[in-house]
A and B are shown apart, each in its own frame.
Chain A
Amino acid sequence: MKLEFTPEQEALRKELRAYFKKLMTPELVDEVSQTPGEGGGPLFWKAMRQLGKDGWIGVGWPKELGGRGMSEMEQFIFVEEVMRAGFPFPFLTTESVGPILAANAAPRLKKLLVPKILGGEIIIAIGYSEPGAGTDLASLKTTARKEGNEWVINGQKMWTSLAHHADWLWVAARTNPDPEVKKHKGISMFLVPATAKGYSLSPVHTLGDVRTNATYYDNVRVPEDHLVGEVDGGWKMITSQLNRERLSLVNVGSFAQLFNNVTKWAKDTKLADGTRVIDQPWVQINLAKARTGLEALKLICYRQAWSMTVGELSMQDASAAKVYGTEFFVELYRLLGEVLGQSSVLHMDSKGAVLRGRLEMLYRTASIITFGGGTNEIQRDIIAMAGLWMPRAKR
C-alpha cells in the first residue's frame, strides 16, 4: 500500500498543468464560459483536436488502439487536470462510451471511430433514457428490428445530452419483444450516425442553463455492423458504461480548482471592517469542511482508477463514488457559496459577479447530478445489496 503518486505520475501532473495553462487562452475561456460544461464552439473544437494531436486523450489507452499505453491511473490524472483547467472535456465520449465501444464494436466501426475519439474529432451522445424509462432503464421501449442486412430503429429518447454537438449516438434499443424474456435480456446497443435519415432532435432547456435534448428515431436504418456486441447482449455494456460514467461524473479536478479559487478570493477580499474574508472563523470552518470532503472524494476517485487498472472495479464502489460525490457537490456548492455570501447569487452576466458567476450557475445545475447517471436511491440499493449482502429489494 502506497497512497502517493509515483515520481513519474507527479511529473505527468506537472507537465499537464503547464500544458493547460498554455492551452486555456483567455479567448477559449471566454468561449467555454458561455455554455458551461458543454463546449461545442470553434475554439473548443480546435483545442479538442490539439489534445488529440498531442496524444493526451488516449494517454491511458493501449498503443494498438492509438493510445500512449499508460494505465487507467494516468488516464484519470489527465482527466483530472483537464477538468481542473475548466475545459468542458466530453468525458462521456472518451472515458465512458469510448472504451466499451473499443472493446465491443464491429471491426469496421472500431477502426472508423476509435481514431476519431482519440483525435478529439467527435462527440458521442448517449441514448438510454426515454419518457417512460429513467431509473427503470430496462423497461425502455425503443425498438430495433432486423430487415435484411440493416437494423431499423424506432422510438424516442430523453435527456440525450450533447446530442446537438454529437456526430454519433450510442443507443439502447429492444431487440427481443418476447414478454417471457426478462426485460434487461432483450436489449442491444447500436451506433447511430447523427446524419441518419429519420433521426431528429429538439432542445430541452434546463434550470442550469445547460441544454439537453429529446431525440427521435423514425425508421432509422443502420447497417447490421452498427450493432455493438451481441444481439440482446446490451445490458452488460450499459452497466459497465454506467460504472465508468459514475467515476467520470465525480472527477475531483474541477472541484479542487473551485475550492482553491474561492480560498484565493477569500484571501484577496476585505470586509468593510478591513479584515479579510478568510480571517473569519466561520469561513475557515466552511473551507475546512469542504477540504475534508474533497480529500475523501479524491481518494475514492484514485482508488477507482487504480481498481480499473488492476481490473477490479466493483459495482458497490462505483455506486458509492457516485452517491458520495454527487451529494458532496451539493454540499460543497453551499459551503463555498456561503463564503461568497450575497455575491454567490449574482449571475455570470451581472455586474459584480464573482469568480465568473460559477457558483451561482453550479448550484442551479447541481440538482441534476443526484438523479442523473442513475438515481442515488438505486445506487444505495446497490451498495446495500452488493456491498453489505442485504436482500435485493422487491419492486
Chain B
Amino acid sequence: MDFSFNETQKEVQGLARQMLTDLATVERLNAIDKQEDRFDADLWKQLAEAGLLGVAIDEKLGGMGFGFTELALFVEEVGRTVAPVPVVPVLVSTALPIQKFGSATLKKAWLPKIASGESLVTAALMETGNEDPATPKATAKAKGKNLLVSGTKVCVPFAKQSDAILVSAKTSKGVVVVLVDPKAKGVKLTRQVSTTREPWYEVVMKDVLVPEAAIVVKADKGAAAMKWVSERTMAALCAMQIGVSDKSMRMTASYACERQQFGVAIGTFQAVQHRAANCYMDVECLKLTTYQAVSLLDSGRDATNEVAIAKIWAGDTGHRVSYAAQHLHGGFGIDRDYSLWRYSLWARQIEMTLGTSARLLATLGERIAAGKAFAE
C-alpha cells in the first residue's frame, strides 16, 4: 500500500499543472468560448510539444512510455483548469485501446500522430438508450475481408475534428472494434450541443466500409476490449472530476475568506465552514476511490467494482461540491465573467457521462447479490 506519487508521477503532475495554469487562463477560456468549437488548438500543440499527449504512449511510438496513473494525473490537471482540450476521448478512450489491442501497423499509423498532436481521434461509446459500448446495437457485416458498419452513435466528442472514430458493432460472431473514418462514404455527422459546449456529434453510419486494416479488435474479443475501454474512460472521468471539484472547493474557500458581509469575512461563519468541510470529505473520498481504481487498472488487475464505486463518488461529489460552490459564491457563481460556472457545467457533464450514480448502484447491487462484491 503506497499512497505517495513517485518522482515521475510528480513530474508529470507538476508539468501539467504549470502549463495548464499558465496557458488555460480565464482570458484564454473566454476567447475560446467565442469560437464555434470549444477547442484550444494552440494549447493542444503546446501540450504535444511538452510530451504530455504521449505520456502513456510507448517511447518507440513517440510517447513518454509511462502508465495509466501518469495519464490520469494529467487528466486531473485538465479538470482543475477546465482546459478546452479533449484528453479523455483522444488519449484514454482511443489511443489506449489502439496501443493495447491494435496491430503493429495500426499502432504505427496512429500513435505517433496522436502524441505529436497532428491527429485527433475519438471514441463513440454511447448509443441512444444504451450506455454500454460492450453491447452495441450498431452492426457490422463482412464484405470480403472488410466490414460494413451501420448504426447510430450519439454524444461523440470531437467526431468532426477527428481523423478516426473508435466504434464497437455487433456481428454474428460477437462484438468488433473498428476505426471509422468520419469522412468515409455513408457517415453523417450532426452537431449536438452539450452543457459544457464541448463539440459533440451524432454519428449515423450506413454501410460504411471499414478496411481490414482498420479493425482494432476481432469479434471474439471485442466485448472484453470495450469493457476495458469503458473502465479506463470511467476512471479518467473520475480523475477529471477530482480536478474539477477540488478546484471548485478551493475557489470557494478562498472566496469565503475575501467576501465580507455584516463586517466580517463570510468564511468565519461556522455554517459556511461546515459546508466547505463537507466538500473536503467528499473530495477526499473521490480522490481515494479514484486513485484505487486507477492503480488497479494500471496493474492490470480486475477493477470492476472499484471503477463503479469511484464513478458513483464522481457523480455524487461532483453534484454536491458544485452546488455548494455555486451557493457559497452567491451571484459570483453564476456570473460568466468569473470562472466558477465552467466548473459546474463540467461537474454535471462528467456526473452524467458513462454511468450515473443510480445506474451504477444498481449494477453494483446486482454484483453484491451475485456474490461478486464482498467487503474483503
A residues whose Cβ falls under 8 Å from a Cβ of B: 1-6, 9, 73, 255-257, 259-260, 263, 267, 278-279, 281, 283-285, 287-289, 291-292, 294-296, 298-300, 302-303, 305-307, 310, 316-317, 320, 323-324, 377, 379-381, 383-385, 387-391, 393-394
Contact = CB atoms under 8 A, between A and B. Distances in A.
B368 interface: yes
Given A380-B277, A381-B270, A393-B268, A388 B253 contact: yes
Contacts of A389: 253, 257
Given A263-B368, A278-B369, A303-B288, A1 B273 contact: no
B312 A285 contact: no
Contacts of B292: 3, 295, 299
Contacts of A385: 273
B59 to A, nearest CB: 21
A393 B272 CA distance: 11
Given A263-B374, A291-B309, A388-B253, 7 more contacts: A2-B1, A4-B1, A255-B375, A281-B362, A288-B361, A296-B309, A324-B284
Contact of A300 (B256, B285, B291): B285
Interface of B: 1-6, 9, 69, 249-250, 253, 256-257, 265, 267-268, 270, 272-274, 276-278, 280-281, 284-285, 288-289, 291-292, 294-296, 299, 301, 305-306, 309, 312-313, 361-362, 364-366, 368-369, 371, 373-376
Given A388-B276, A389-B253, A291 B284 contact: no
A278 B285 CA distance: 27
Contacts of A387: 277, 280
Nearest to A382: B277
A324 B279 CA distance: 11
B24 to A, nearest CB: 23
B274 A380 contact: yes
The A interface, classified by DSSP as helix, strand, loop or mixed, is: helix
Contacts of B272: 390
B375 A291 contact: yes
A183 B274 CA distance: 26
Contacts of B313: 292, 296
Contacts of B6: 1
Nearest to A279: B369
Contacts of A9: 1
A257 B284 CA distance: 24
A3 B290 CA distance: 10
Contact of B374 (A255, A260, A302): A260
A146 to B, nearest CB: 40
29 contacts: A1-B4, A1-B9, A2-B2, A3-B288, A3-B291, A4-B1, A4-B295, A4-B299, A4-B301, A9-B1, A256-B375, A256-B376, A260-B374, A279-B369, A288-B362, A288-B364, A291-B364, A295-B292, A296-B285, A299-B288, A300-B285, A303-B3, A320-B277, A380-B277, A384-B253, A387-B277, A387-B280, A390-B257, A390-B267
A298 B376 CA distance: 10
A288 B369 CA distance: 10
A163 to B, nearest CB: 33
Contacts of B365: 281, 283-285, 287-288
B292 to A, nearest CB: 4
B289 A296 contact: yes
